[in-house]
Amino acid sequence: MILAILAFYFGYRKGRDSGRSGVLWAFICGLTFIAVQLLTAVAIGLFIELGIVFGGWSETLYDDLAWVITIGSIVASIVSLVILFKYLDRVPDEPEPTAPPPPPTFDQNQ
């Protein structure tokens, strides 16, 4: 839980410091951390369930590997945040200024 709060906080700071919307990037970083952690745990659980059903694995395997699955999910979430933070560290390109319009020409006949 603390890591998710830190993801929101550092996402806000990095977004704001790089000239982007801090609130938007706080939500992107925080929700990415939570989603990757959840999806990783679900994917590993599905893999173990398929092994139990079709491979004859032990039914207590998920309980035996609970800590490994939790740590793996947290590591995957941290890796996803590092990738997002590397993106946020890049300063957005400033648009090139356009040339000023040419000076007006007045009709000499008037």
Domain boundaries, the chain: 2-89
pLDDT at 102: 79
* Angle (CA) 38 41 47, round 5°: 140
- Evaluate if pTM is beyond 0.75: no
Q: Which two tokens stand for residue 63?
A: 């309980």
CA 7 remoteness from chain centre: 9
User: According to the model, what pLDDT value does residue 107 have?
Assistant: 75
| pLDDT tens-digit series, residues 7-25 | 889 888 888 888 788 898 8
- Give tens-digit pLDDT for 31-77: 999 999 999 999 999 999 999 999 888 888 888 999 999 999 999 99
Predicted local confidence at residue 92, as pLDDT? 66
For the record, the structure tokens of 79 come out as: 């890796």
